[in-house]
Amino acid sequence: MIQLYRPGTSPLHRAPVGRKLALLAAVALLLSLLPQDAVSIGAVLLGVAGLYLVAGFSPRVLGVELWRIRWLVIVLSVALAVFVSPLSAWISTGRVIALLLLAGLLTSTTRMADLLDALHRMLRPLRRIGVDADAVAMTLSLTLTMIPVVAGFADRVRDAQRARGVRLGVRAVVPLLVLALRHADDVGDALVARGIG
């Protein structure tokens, strides 16, 4: 399992995992349900950036997180700007950026074992209706970590192509898919070894 945790002693590192998960869920709901405007989305993004500073991370860490999701941001914002409006592009893309950065902050300030334990405890009551708490907890934790993992693969492909003097383009998709599928196989093997798969 790829570990995205960055050690630290900040209030976010010390906060209970359940509270961090609840905060992430609450922000996701509020951003989805409440109407937003250009200013409020800007304030949300500034607030998220502030949380990275509270966690003791340098602005460089925030820059790395933004760089990892750049293609998603570019494609989403351009598509919305062309087909809807620039304002809708800013608001919708801002929501996605905020949520992805918060998910990245959660995985950076929380050990994976602690995250799995918290998810398992939260889901345990659902066993009465036939929900496999172990499988759901693992699925949720893998979902939270996949975006930075795949973004890291994209960076590796880009660096390898540059080192070979190959021009970037659509051909980068093939090695990225190979790395992602290989990673999926490794994760599947790890799940089988834990008796979850």
**Residues 83-94, mean pLDDT to the nearest whole number:** 93
For residue 43, give Cα distances in angstroms to 36, 40, 50, 92, 145: 10, 5, 10, 14, 25
Of 174 and 75, more confident:
75
Q: Which residues contact 55 (CB under 8 A, 6 or more apart)?
A: 8, 10, 12, 13, 105, 108, 109
Helix/strand/coil (H/E/C) assignment for every residue in the chain: CCCCCCCCCCHHHHCCHHHHHHHHHHHHHHHHHCCCCHHHHHHHHHHHHHHHHHCCCCHHHHHHHHHHCHHHHHHHHHHHHHHCCHHHHHHHHHHHHHHHHHHHHHHHHCCHHHHHHHHHHHHHHHHHHCCCHHHHHHHHHHHHHHHHHHHHHHHHHHHHHHHHCCCCCHHHHHHHHHHHHHHHHHHHHHHHHCCCC
Q: What is the pTM of this model?
A: 0.70
pLDDT tens digits along 169-193: 666 677 777 887 787 777 777 767 7
Q: Among 4-8, 15-19, 86-90, 97-101, which is the least confidently predicted range?
A: 4-8
Distance CA 49, CA 57 (A): 10
The pLDDT, as a whole number, for residue 154 is 76
pLDDT tens digits along 105-131: 988 898 877 887 887 788 788 778 887
The pLDDT, as a whole number, for residue 5 is 80
The pLDDT, as a whole number, for residue 2 is 45
